[in-house]
């Protein structure tokens, strides 16, 4: 189960990475390379012994490149990408399932924001949007 949870979280982190990359390029801020390197670190780490000190260092590094929504008005997607990576790193340390849940929430929140960019929809319209339905099916399919 542990490896499947890591695989799910990494898959989500990779999906959200491009949003961070776009944000970083547009705002000339952050470090997409560090974020990507950390995602790759997670993939490699899942098969090695737990070095919680190293993982905590990685969390601190990602927190340093996590945009503050008060400093950047367009940072929600990039923020979710960083939070997903930090939550995955935290999972490596304590194996608490709540971290994986939070990673999934980063994905659905990002999709929710994107769906609403073009139109103002009610919650049931967002929930029934094909992109959101597919994301939830992905999360449920992998988590069972």
From first to last of its 144 residues, the chain has per-residue pLDDT tens of: 889 999 999 999 999 999 999 999 999 999 999 999 999 999 988 777 668 899 999 999 999 999 999 999 899 999 999 999 999 999 999 999 999 999 999 999 999 988 888 677 788 887 888 888 888 888 887 554
* Model pLDDT, residue 79: 97
Instruction: Tell me the whole-structure pTM to 2 decimals.
Output: 0.89
Euclidean distance between CA atoms 61 and 113, whole angstroms:
26
Euclidean distance between CA atoms 22 and 74, whole angstroms:
11
Euclidean distance between CA atoms 68 and 82, whole angstroms:
11
Which pair of tokens denotes residue 15? Answer: 């999906």
Other beta carbons within 10 Å of 123: 8
């Amino acid at each position: 189960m542990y490896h499947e949870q890591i695989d799910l979280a990494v898959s989500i982190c990779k999906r959200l990475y491009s949003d961070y990359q776009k944000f970083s390029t547009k705002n000339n801020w952050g470090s997409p390379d560090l974020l990507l390197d950390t995602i790759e670190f997670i993939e490699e780490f899942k098969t090695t012994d737990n070095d919680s000190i190293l993982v905590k260092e990685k969390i601190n590094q990602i927190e340093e490149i996590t945009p503050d929504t008060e400093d950047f008005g367009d940072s929600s997607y990039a923020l979710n990408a960083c939070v997903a990576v930090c939550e995955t790193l935290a999972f490596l340390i304590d194996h608490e399932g709540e971290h994986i849940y939070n990673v999934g929430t980063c994905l659905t929140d990002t999709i929710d924001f994107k769906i609403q960019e073009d139109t103002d929809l009610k919650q049931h319209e967002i929930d029934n949007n094909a992109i959101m339905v597919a994301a939830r099916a992905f999360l449920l399919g992998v988590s069972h």
